[in-house]
Amino acid sequence: MEKHDTRPTIQDVAQIAGVSTATVSRTLQKPELVREKTRIAVQDAVRKTGYRINSAAQNLRRNRAGSVLVIVPDIGNTFFSEILLGIEQIASEAGYTILIGDASKDGSRTEGLMDFLRNGKADGALLLNGYLPDQVISSLPTSDGGNIPVISVCEAVPEANIAHVGIDNKAAAKAAVDHLITQGHQKIAHLSGPESNILTQLRIKGYETAMREAGLGDHISILPGDFSIQSGIDVVAQLFDKPARPTALFCANDEMAMGAAFGLTQAGLKVPDDLSLMGFDDIQFARTFIPPISTIHQPRSEIGKLAMHKLLKILNGEAITQEHSNLEFSLIQRQSVRKIQT
């Protein structure tokens, strides 16, 4: 059993292969530069010694970290895991490692996590939490191309000059509400996310647009939530307060829709008989919830992959920041919406 500090180095390989360390390095990094015979000798020596590159040395020499930081608001939220998987796949193909930082919901840890960039522990960052103060941005190191190697995912960072990957949230919210309207609903309320959140604002806009275009402006009713299951449970009481109780509730995410269904059940009401529910995101549990939740599907894996691809381009000095990409969402009809005869 070899000791930690006894790992074979490039020196050992060079000695055994009878070449210089430069040749070993070349064989490993750019084999096409090395004569076949030499290459084979080196590869044999690598095998014989069990040599593995020392990443710290390589990174120091290459002036990079070999890793990218992914900041999520909450690791415990299933919405992010598929995005992470997409990111990780592309990153590892490119030889990058992923550092996952949980920024806690209030975003207060974001700044601390950004030290990873400043310390050179990460070469770039993917922000899934829509939070990045201007002063933090300006303190960040830039990539070779002179760009800030940071990309916002799903939640755009308002005003920041960074690239973004997500979906058209306003259009998606409108599609959700349009669906409810198509099913005959008119009194449609909206359970929104936290006020300051950019997604909240876009989804509210989509809701309002759909309602107005259908001549339902008078029925617009926005109830404040915070994306948590609990705020879905809590909204049920408010629903009863209304003089004209809505027949449908469009929730800004699936968790709140599930919470609302739970609260309704506790109050002796049923979904969709007593209230139709639309969610947003299509998280894993929405499909087998009772009843299964109709929702907006986001292509999470694709979003993660595209975001990482873009970041790689910036790191290679190929791309410019500031570009926004929206991927296709889709409407998933399940059993939480009932058709109303009109």
Partner DNA sequence: CTGAAAGCGCTTACAG
Residues at the interface with DNA (CB under 7 A): 5, 7, 9-11, 18-26, 28-29, 33-35, 37-39, 51-54, 57-58, 60-63
Contact 111, 103 (CB under 8 A): no
**Contact, 259 vs 232, CB < 8 A?**
yes
By a kind-dependent CB cut-off of 5 to 8 A, residue 85 interacts, out of DNA, a copy of itself, none, with: a copy of itself
To which H or E segment does residue 79 belong? Answer: helix 78-93
Nearest approach, Cβ of 280 to DNA (angstroms)?
45
Cα distance between residue 99 and residue 102, in whole Å: 10
Residue 265 touches a copy of itself, criterion: CB under 8 A? yes
Q: Find which of DNA, a copy of itself, none residue 19 binds, CB within 5 to 8 Å per kind.
A: DNA
Instruction: Please select the residue that binds a copy of itself; options are 11, 29, 108, 142, rule is CB under 8 A.
Output: 142
CB of 310 to DNA, least distance (A): 23
Q: For residue 9, count CB atoms less than 10 angstroms from its CB and return exposed for 0-12, middle for 13-18, buried for 19 or more.
A: middle
CB atoms within 10 A of CB 128: 29
Partner whose binding site includes residue 228, from a copy of itself, DNA, none (CB under 5 to 8 Å by kind): none
Contacting residue, 126, 171, 177, 233, with a copy of itself by CB under 8 A: 233
Give the range of 22-30, 99-107, 236-244, 305-313 binding a copy of itself by CB under 8 A.
99-107
Structure tokens at 111: 């700044």
Q: Does 216 bind a copy of itself (CB under 8 A)?
A: no
**Nearer Cβ to DNA, position 23 or 192?**
23
Q: Which of 32, 37, 63, 159 binds a copy of itself (CB under 8 A)?
A: 63
Q: Which of 55, 161, 238, 316 binds a copy of itself (CB under 8 A)?
A: 55
* CB 251 within 8 Å of CB 222: no
Calpha distance 218→120 (Å, rounded): 54
Could you say which of a copy of itself, DNA, none residue 316 binds, taking C-beta under 5 to 8 angstroms by partner kind? none
Q: State the Cα–Cα distance between residues 297 and 304, nearest whole angstrom.
A: 14
**Residue burial 290-324, b: 16+ Cβ < 10 Å; e: rest:** ebebbbbbbbbebbbbbbbbbbbbbbeeebebeee
| 84 lines the binding site for a copy of itself (CB under 8 A) | yes
* ω into 299 cis (within 30 of 0): no
Q: Which residue ranges make up the site for a copy of itself (CB under 8 A)?
A: 1-5, 7, 52-57, 59-60, 63, 65, 75-78, 81-82, 84-85, 88, 97-100, 102, 115-116, 118-121, 138, 141-144, 146, 229, 233, 258-259, 261-262, 265, 284-285, 288-290
